[in-house]
Amino acid sequence: MTKQILYKKEIPELIRYFLESKAYREHTIGVVVPAYNEENQIQDTIETLPEFVDKIYVVDDGSTG
């Protein structure tokens, strides 16, 4: 399996593929959410993730204070 970088415009197509093919049922789907000083927005960000996401990894990448 080759690794590839997904660009913002490709993400909706990927989500549509997973939903239509039900491929997500055969896999565990994890999402990495980088966060830098996002304490006020992180909840909203997480709540927008699709329900088929099984694991969410929030990574603090050097927040201040």
Question: What is the pTM for the complete model shown?
Answer: 0.60
Query: Pick from 15, 16, 14, 63: which is nearest to 39 by CA?
Result: 63
Three-class DSSP category at 14: helix
Amino acid type, 46 = I
pLDDT in tens, 9-32: 677 787 788 778 876 677 788 899
Residue 57 has pLDDT above 90, yes or no: yes
Cβ(45)–Cβ(38) under 8 Å? yes
Backbone φ and ψ of 31, nearest 5°: -130, 135
Cβ(59)–Cβ(34) under 8 Å? yes
